[in-house]
């Protein structure tokens, strides 16, 4: 049985008092499996009240701030692993950008675009099973340079499975966090990857924690997991002590084994996010890859339970325009973390910066910068991922001659 992602409006209401449950969790109660199943079984008509109840926990711990994160893809494609969901996997026929390591100056310059758009954390990511010691030294140089130019910005590295001593090297260079997602439950893991194990991922998160790095570990939902498997994964993250939990919504790239897999609805995504908030009330919860195509018009509603987003583009696909991201945050009554005291003029300046960057990309002759084929000229006009059913491959930013979406 796959995850019931579209509870019918006519279904009998689940036996769940969301307000009471959230109040109990605020007082110290830990969400149980039975309660978690009831959360996922919430009918569509009761989902927004569920979001409101879970949102009381979000506001208790994070107020009305939204943390803005920015991805820099240091090395794209060319991965020997066989993760079924990934456009960078071995054997992928997805027509993604493929390039080897960015130079340190280029990586720092790319990060600077996101920081100028309001990002308080930069995530430096490289494809592959895991880094060599030379790779770690290369990234450490980037971290040191980025911290020298932007000392106030957090840096999170995501380089795959770590070997002994590598997390400590990154910490010594100034990295603040390490990302390595569990992605799904231990029971489902062998079905989505055979080239490394679930335990390899747990071990890497624990190595990062032991080195003093903040742990960032999350999920990909929509892989065909059952409700029980989804709860298993969320509770594993709770036990692991993940301080930042990104929730990715499967982007079924053409040319991968998950091509054509569409198991989520916007309301189902809200229920999943509410589950994570109720299970991990004081943890950073990030709506990550795939939010545009799965949450669609409910992206701002998701901010009632999530307190963090990625700005602009992802590793191999385009995201919603950065200016739209910042507008969305402001329109929903939230403020960007670190800009709580900013004047309206300063906020407007940042929005103008993001809009300028988004419109600075020149479309190829007769085509569209977003690759949608409509000839509109720019993803910023609305033909990009926020309006697309399929992933839109990234053709700008790191590894290209085009400016990034930030």
Residue extents of the structural domains in the chain: 18-59, 62-353
383 counts as catalytic: no
Q: Could you identify the residue written with the tokens 């390039």?
A: 99
- Whole-angstrom Cα distance, residue 248 to residue 314? 11
First to last CA, the chain: 40
- Whole-angstrom Cα distance, residue 99 to residue 171? 26
In order of 20, 21, 50, 232, 293, the CA distances from 15 in angstroms are 12, 11, 12, 21, 30
Helix ranges restricted to H, 194-265:
198-210, 227-240
- For residues 149 and 113, is the Cβ–Cβ distance under 8 A? no
Q: According to the annotation, is 376 in a ligand binding site?
A: no
- Whole-angstrom Cα distance, residue 224 to residue 254? 17
Name the residue among 155, 124, 145, 136 with its Cα closest to residue 398.
124
Predicted local confidence at residue 32, as pLDDT: 98
- For residues 223 and 258, is the Cβ–Cβ distance under 8 A? yes
The mean pLDDT values, 10 residues at a time, for the chain of 406 residues are 43 73 98 98 98 98 98 94 92 90 96 94 97 98 98 98 98 98 98 96 98 98 98 98 98 94 97 98 98 97 98 92 94 94 66 56 35 34 53 92 85
- For residues 102 and 140, is the Cβ–Cβ distance under 8 A? no
Predicted local confidence at residue 349, as pLDDT: 66
Which of 121, 156, 269, 277 is catalytic? The answer is 156
pTM of the model: 0.89
Q: According to the annotation, is 193 in a ligand binding site?
A: no
For residue 139, give both structure tokens.
């990234």
- For residues 226 and 189, is the Cβ–Cβ distance under 8 A? no
- For residues 120 and 114, is the Cβ–Cβ distance under 8 A? no
158 contact partners, CB below 8 Å, separation of at least 6: 123, 124, 125, 126, 178, 179, 180, 216
Which of 89, 123, 291, 395 is catalytic? The answer is 123
- Residues facing residue 231 across a β-bridge: none
86 counts as catalytic: yes
Q: According to the annotation, is 368 in a ligand binding site?
A: no
Which of 89, 169, 277, 286 is catalytic? The answer is 286
- Whole-angstrom Cα distance, residue 205 to residue 275? 22
- Whole-angstrom Cα distance, residue 289 to residue 127? 16
83 counts as catalytic: yes
395 counts as catalytic: no
- For residues 50 and 19, is the Cβ–Cβ distance under 8 A? no
269 counts as catalytic: no
Q: According to the annotation, is 138 in a ligand binding site?
A: no
Q: According to the annotation, is 79 in a ligand binding site?
A: yes
Name the residue among 364, 389, 390, 388 with its Cα closest to residue 378.
364
Name the residue among 110, 101, 112, 104 with its Cα closest to residue 143.
104
Predicted local confidence at residue 356, as pLDDT: 59
Name the residue among 250, 249, 243 with its Cα closest to residue 217.
243
368 counts as catalytic: no
Kind plus residue range of the DSSP H or E element containing 216:
strand 214-216
- Whole-angstrom Cα distance, residue 293 to residue 269? 11
123 counts as catalytic: yes
- Whole-angstrom Cα distance, residue 275 to residue 37? 9
Predicted local confidence at residue 341, as pLDDT: 79
- Whole-angstrom Cα distance, residue 247 to residue 308? 10
Q: According to the annotation, is 86 in a ligand binding site?
A: yes
Which of 158, 193, 216, 269 is catalytic? The answer is 216
- Whole-angstrom Cα distance, residue 372 to residue 385? 9
Q: According to the annotation, is 383 in a ligand binding site?
A: no
Q: Is 159 exposed, middle or buried (0-12, 13-18, 19+ CB in 10 A)?
A: buried
CATH 3.30.1550.10 assigned to 62-353: no
- Which DSSP string do the residues of 288-299 spell out, in sequence order? -TTHHHHTGGGH
């Amino acid at each position: 049985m796959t995850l019931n992602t579209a509870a019918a409006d006519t279904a009998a209401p689940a036996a769940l008092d969301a307000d009471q449950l959230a109040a109990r969790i605020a007082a110290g109660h830990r969400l149980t499996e039975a309660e978690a199943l009831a959360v996922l079984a919430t009918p569509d008509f009761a989902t927004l009240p569920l979001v409101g109840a879970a949102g009381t926990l979000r506001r208790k711990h994070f107020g009305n701030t939204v943390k803005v994160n920015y991805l820099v893809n240091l090395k794209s494609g060319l991965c020997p692993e066989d993760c079924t969901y990934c456009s960078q996997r071995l054997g992928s026929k997805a027509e993604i950008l493929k390039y080897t390591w960015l130079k340190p100056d280029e990586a720092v310059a790319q990060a600077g675009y996101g920081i100028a758009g309001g990002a308080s954390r930069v995530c430096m990511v490289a494809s592959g099973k895991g880094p060599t010691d030379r790779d770690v030294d290369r990234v450490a140089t980037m971290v040191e340079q980025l911290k020298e130019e932007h000392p106030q910005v957090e840096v999170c590295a995501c380089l795959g499975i770590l070997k002994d001593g590598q997390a400590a090297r990154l910490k010594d260079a100034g990295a603040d966090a390490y990302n390595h997602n569990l992605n799904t439950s231990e029971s489902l893991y062998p079905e989505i990857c055979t080239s490394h194990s679930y335990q390899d991922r747990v071990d890497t998160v624990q190595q990062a924690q032991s080195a003093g790095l903040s742990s960032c570990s999350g999920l990909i939902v929509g892989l065909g997991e059952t409700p029980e498997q989804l709860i298993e994964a969320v509770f594993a993250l709770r036990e692991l002590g993940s301080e930042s939990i990104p929730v990715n919504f499967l982007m079924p790239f053409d040319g991968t084994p998950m091509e054509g897999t569409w198991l989520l609805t916007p309301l189902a995504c809200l229920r999943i996010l509410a589950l994570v908030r109720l299970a991990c009330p004081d943890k950073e919860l990030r709506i990550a890859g795939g939010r545009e195509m799965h949450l669609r018009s409910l992206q701002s509603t998701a901010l009632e339970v999530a307190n963090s987003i990625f700005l602009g583009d992802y590793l191999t696909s385009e995201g919603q325009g950065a200016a739209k991201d910042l507008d969305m945050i402001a329109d929903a009554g939230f403020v960007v973390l670190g800009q709580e005291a900013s004047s309206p003029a300063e906020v407007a300046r940042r929005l103008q910066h993001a809009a300028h960057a988004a419109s600075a990309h020149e479309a190829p002759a007769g085509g569209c910068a977003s690759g949608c084929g409509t000839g509109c000229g720019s993803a910023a006009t609305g033909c990009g991922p926020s309006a697309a059913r399929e992933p839109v491959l990234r053709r700008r930013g790191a590894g290209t001659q085009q400016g990034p979406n930030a």
